[in-house]
């Protein structure tokens, strides 16, 4: 049964059903006064710029909003439960973003827990951290950015036998099949890689398999090596394993790590130097690239091209064989050009581990 906007219900029968309902911002339960805050959707409904804001969360949504609002001149406070942002990302990105956000004046409250929210005109956020109890007063806006919840309420999944994990996400196999024949699911509601382009790609592959004929019988999306970018200030991009994951999978003696840190030419004559960092991890004698992480201006554009190469199985030798474009940050992906890059950039330094 489908309920329309006018309240009427329509019964629809189908031979095949796709569940791609997505997710919605999670609102904390059990925190008194939580209703005084807004979620990430509510940010786009604000009719004026908040001059003092608290953001609760350490994921990409919190990081992006914090960078944006701070750049606009808002006094920005971020409350995180641990020591760093983006804890599923490589340590280079975690450390780089944390350092840069602290440098530009974002107030980061580490190891903190929100206890309650009160409102008397403006908002007051009551919290605890390693130093004890604290209050942050005179807030214009409180933003909850603590994650997303799969949109499954009211679907009756248990009635038909569609299985879910402990987070409520729909369980599928590699072909997007649920446990029930002819019911499929993809996108944020399955929680594999929660990105819009990933859902679109998975939908195309599923459509090919279901309706494209015998030549598409095995069509499926490969969820490995999907590039991802966080539009922070500065941008960060990642594809492949983190360093910790690479060590765990291949062993420390079977990987080689290349790092670069420099000031891009774009910032050469500016007093405020934007950071640029890159990390490349290669595996085995052939030095097949299993990870690339980048932080700095234009990381999203840089990663798209590198992502294709890495997806095709590029090695460090392949990267070395390509002449770098002058002057670009992407050129830092070719560490053998150390002397050349030193000429075209200020304060360039390269080190190998």
Residue among 188, 202, 101 at smallest CA distance from 150: 188
- Spatial distance between the Cα atoms of 246 and 257, rounded to a whole number of angstroms: 10
DSSP state of 148: E
Q: Which of 77, 82, 126, 326 is catalytic?
A: 326
Residue among 275, 343, 348, 284 nearest 316 (CA): 284
Number of helices (H) and strands (E), helices first, in the chain?
9, 19
- C-alpha 56/C-alpha 318 separation (Å) is 43
Q: Is the bond preceding 327 in cis, omega lying within 30 degrees of 0?
A: yes
Q: Identify the CA nearest to 51 among candidates 131, 159, 140, 181.
A: 140
| Share in percent of the chain as helix, strand, coil (round to 5) | 30, 30, 40
Strands (E), 147-227: 148-150, 183-185
- Can you say how many angstroms the Cα of residue 87 is from the centroid of all Cα atoms in its chain? 10
- Displacement of CA 199 from its chain's centroid (Å): 15
- Locate tokens 């002449």: which residue? 323
Residue with tokens 């030193």: 342
Beta bridge partners of 127: 114, 134
77 given a catalytic annotation: no
Task: Match 């920005």 to its residue by tokens.
Answer: 76
Active site (catalytic) residues: 326
């Amino acid at each position: 049964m489908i309920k329309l906007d006018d309240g009427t219900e329509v019964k629809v029968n189908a031979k095949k059903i796709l569940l791609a309902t997505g997710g919605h911002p999670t609102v904390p339960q059990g925190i008194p006064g939580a209703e005084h805050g807004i979620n990430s959707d509510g940010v786009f409904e604000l009719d004026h710029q908040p001059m003092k804001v608290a953001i609760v969360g350490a994921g990409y949504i919190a990081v992006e909003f914090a960078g944006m609002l701070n750049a606009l001149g808002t006094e920005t406070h971020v409350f995180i439960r641990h020591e760093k942002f983006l804890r599923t990302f490589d340590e280079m990105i975690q450390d780089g973003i944390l350092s840069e956000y602290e440098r530009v004046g974002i107030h980061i409250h580490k190891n903190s827990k929100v206890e309650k929210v009160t409102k008397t005109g403006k908002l007051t956020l009551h919290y605890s951290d390693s130093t004890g109890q604290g209050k942050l007063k005179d807030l214009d806006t409180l933003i909850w950015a603590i994650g997303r919840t799969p949109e499954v309420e009211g679907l009756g999944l248990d009635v038909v036998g569609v299985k879910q994990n402990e987070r409520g996400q729909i369980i599928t196999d590699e072909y997007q099949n649920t446990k029930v024949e002819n019911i499929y699911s993809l996108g944020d509601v399955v929680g594999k890689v929660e990105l819009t382009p990933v859902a679109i790609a998975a939908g195309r592959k599923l459509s090919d398999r279901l309706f494209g004929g015998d030549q598409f019988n095995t069509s499926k999306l490969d969820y490995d090596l999907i590039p991802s970018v966080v539009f922070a200030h500065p941008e960060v991009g990642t594809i492949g394993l983190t360093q910790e994951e690479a060590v765990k999978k291949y062993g420390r003696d079977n990987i080689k790590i290349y790092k670069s840190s420099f000031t891009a030419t774009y910032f050469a004559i500016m007093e405020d130097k934007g950071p640029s960092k890159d990390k490349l991890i290669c595996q085995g004698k052939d030095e097949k690239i299993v990870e690339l992480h980048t932080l700095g201006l234009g990381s999203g554009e840089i990663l798209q091209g590198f992502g294709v190469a890495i997806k095709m199985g590029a090695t460090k030798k392949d990267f070395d064989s390509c002449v770098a474009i002058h002057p670009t940050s992407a050129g830092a992906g070719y560490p053998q050009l150390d002397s050349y890059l030193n000429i075209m950039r200020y304060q360039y330094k390269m080190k190998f581990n």
